[in-house]
Amino acid sequence: MAENSPNLAVRQNIVELSDVSVEYRVPQERIGTFKEYAIRMLQGKIKHRTFKALNGVNLEVKQGEIFGLIGPNGAGKSTLLKLVSRVIRPSHGRVVVRGNVAPLLEIGAGFHPELTGRENVFLNGAMLGFSRQEMEDKFPRIVDFAELGDFIEAPIRTYSSGMLARLGFAVATDSQPDILIVDEILSVGDEAFQHKSYERILSIKAQGATILLVSHSMGMIESMCQRAAWLDHGQIMSMGPSKEVIDRYLGRVSEEENRQLIEDSHHETITKDRDYKAVEIRQVKILNSQNNEQQVFHTGESMAVQIEYQANESIDSLEVGIAINRSDGVHITGPNTTYSGLDIKVRSGPGGVVYTVPSLPLMEGMYQISVALVNRQGNKMLDLQDKLYVFRINNRGHHVRERYGLMTLGGEWRFM
Amino acid sequence: MNFQANLPVVYDSTRRGSVIFEELREILNYRHLIWQLVRRDILTRYKRSFLGVAWTMLNPLGMMLVWTIAFSQIFKSNDLPAYPAFVLNGLLAWTFFSQTTTAAMVNLVWGGGLLNRIYIPRVSFAVAAMGTGIVNLGLSLIPLFIVMFATGLTIHLSIIFVPVSILVLVAFSLGVGLLLSTLAVYFPDISEMYQIVLLAWMFLTPVMYPETILPDAYRFYITNLNPLYHIMKLFRIPLYYGRFPTPAEFLIPLGIASVVVVVGWIVFARKSDEFAYRI
């Protein structure tokens, strides 16, 4: 969908935010009652904290483009959409909008359960600023698109959630707006309707509308948007061609995840129980090809699991084994030193083994590693750390020839 | 695709003018929404009841009966002729005031958070509450005429003044409703408190009784300090008393209502930008 538009630069800005900040003054403590407020006010004890939902944002959206907004929850994406749709005003800076805005912020906001579908269509239309005459014209098309049939005359408390979503979407998108604001839209209704709403958005776009799209689906942003902005803590971290912005954003997400996972695993090792063990696991590290600790990998990358143990007794036939499970419980593999022909005899003191995977065949997901030490004489479990170590496969930004399922078999396609 | 060379600026956050006039302009643009909200309130209120909209008329009649029975021993017929008509006349104005001010506040604060989802003029809820009140008041004039006829009162030419009385009542209620709404956004407890205030206010206003029964010491306070007294009287004069108001009887309530509605509108409009964060 992302088309090449060489003339993007010459098009006019349809939405312009210049140095826009949105501040909320929130009381530091919640004061709920008038009495409390009056007392505090007399005592001069009301302290306010300023919360910046957006901080110095500059943004220009060109006419006719689909512009994506990405970022974690609470980054200010919805605040930005609300600024454009006039729901809130900037505390500083300037917002200029050159066209009428159709918000798909909350589909069906303002529906009344006791009213019929027909009555709600007119009510909802009025909230979007349409006159009765305009709604009379739209009504047949709306009912047709929402696929409600005779249900349109029934109170909407009798509707299924899918029917409600269809009706709300149909009312909000019936007219051709200059700017369409879409916040996680395509998660409503069944698959057939999702497809239909996707088509409708594309047709609105085809007629020249500008679309502001917020989504947590990077795939959708990448396929639909030419440009995107990554927001975090009310500031724009990166803006430009959507693919580049997404890669930067996901790079940061991986870094954060990696750091978090490493922190967590160290924490676990320290706090584990300290009972006496003949041989105990001292440290387990997941390493990349440069022998650095890493917890986010991509398919095809090499990975090593380094296990250090401490022997308190001498054991002639120690076996070190690991199990790898996907986070949903699917057991991937369970290699151990015995099957690989590695005989381990330990005397009191430290020791260690490394399990190396030259090329990870696993597809995207979370995986857990369990580590066990076993005395083969008497088949006795000496130490076990169950699913304590976690790594993740994330293929964003890497060329991987397969996408679905558990793993790649490394197979190749050719003409017969 | 054709892209216009010069797009008109539809919205510019810095080019705004006064909030007070902006709300006024927008409410005119959204007059269709007001009509739809009024329609919704009236349709849904009686949707599940058997007698439906007839309750708009039965309700004040029932209240009138209760008050008439309760007070029939206190006022002999020569003190206050056609007491049921007197009570009903007062009740209609009182019910309008108490219901519309409560509805303005409740619809804004508990209106499903509509204000922080899509743009609609913030005064919509209060204005729509007045619209609903006017429809209900208009319908309940029918039982009032019946009761007036049954108690031997005649309807005079002064009835043509009733719309003016209603307009003054609406302005006053809108002003109070807007002030209450602004307060209730910050302190949700206001709506509970207001119900108690209303009860006290009703007894301090000559709704059920004529101000002539008040001891002189108290009468001064009620007639001078209770703004609702003058507004209610303006509604009673052309109906129950069957005459046109004197200039003072008209200008005092008109002045009060104008001040209250202007102050209420200004306070509400100036604070309205904060509502979307608070609700």
A212-263 pLDDT, tens digit each:
988 877 877 888 888 999 999 999 999 999 988 988 888 888 777 777 777 7
CATH of the domain at A302: 2.70.50.60
Is the residue at A178 inside a domain?
A: no
Residues in chain B: 279
Q: What is the pLDDT of residue A198?
A: 80
Name the residue with tokens 């608070």: B278
Q: Which of A34, A86, A95 sits opposite B190 (nearest CB)?
A: A34
B30-61 pLDDT, tens digit each:
999 999 999 988 888 877 777 777 888 888 89
d(CA A314, CA B67): 99
Is the residue at A164 inside a domain?
A: no
Please report how the helices B83-109 and B124-150 are oriented relative to each other, as an axis angle in degrees rounded to 10: 170
Is the confidence at residue B172, as pLDDT, over 90? yes
Residue A294: phi and psi, rounded to 5, are -155, 145
d(CA B100, CA A280): 75
Per CB-CB distance under 8 Å, the chain A contacts of B30 are 126, 129
Residue A224 and residue A213 in contact, taking contact as beta carbons nearer than 8 Å: yes
User: What global pTM score does this model have?
Assistant: 0.74
The domain in which residue B70 lies consists of 19-278
Tell me whether 0.85 is exceeded by the ipTM: no
Closest to B190 measured CA to CA, from A35, A142, A96, A352: A35
Is the residue at B186 inside a domain?
A: yes
Is the residue at B148 inside a domain?
A: yes
Q: What is the pLDDT of residue A4?
A: 44
Please report how the helices B83-109 and B227-236 are oriented relative to each other, as an axis angle in degrees rounded to 10: 130
Q: Which residue of A has its CA nearest to B9?
A: A98
Is the residue at B4 inside a domain?
A: no
Is the residue at A55 inside a domain?
A: no
Is the residue at B5 inside a domain?
A: no
- Beta-carbon count within 10 A of A253 CB: 15
Cβ distance A85 to B119 less than 8 Å, yes or no, reads yes
Is the residue at B223 inside a domain?
A: yes
Is the residue at B9 inside a domain?
A: no
Among A10-24, A143-157, A223-237, A393-407, which stretch is predicted with the lowest mean pLDDT? A393-407
Instruction: Categorize the per-residue pLDDT at A34 as very low, low, confident or very high, splitting at 50, 70 and 90.
Output: low
Is the residue at A349 inside a domain?
A: yes
Closest to A398 measured CA to CA, from A368, A359, A344: A359
How many structural domains comprise chain A?
A: 1
Name the residue with tokens 């401490």: A310
User: What integer best gives the mean pLDDT of chain A?
Assistant: 84
The domain in which residue A385 lies consists of 272-393
Per CB-CB distance under 8 Å, the chain B contacts of A24 are 277
Per CB-CB distance under 8 Å, the chain B contacts of A57 are none
Is the residue at B7 inside a domain?
A: no
- Beta-carbon count within 10 A of A416 CB: 2
Q: What is the pLDDT of residue A3?
A: 45
Mean pLDDT, range B73-84, rounded to an integer:
74
d(CA A16, CA A93): 10
Is the residue at A351 inside a domain?
A: yes
How many structural domains comprise chain B?
A: 1
In B103-132, the residues whose Cβ lies within 8 Å of chain A are 112-120
Largest pairwise CA distance in chain B: 82
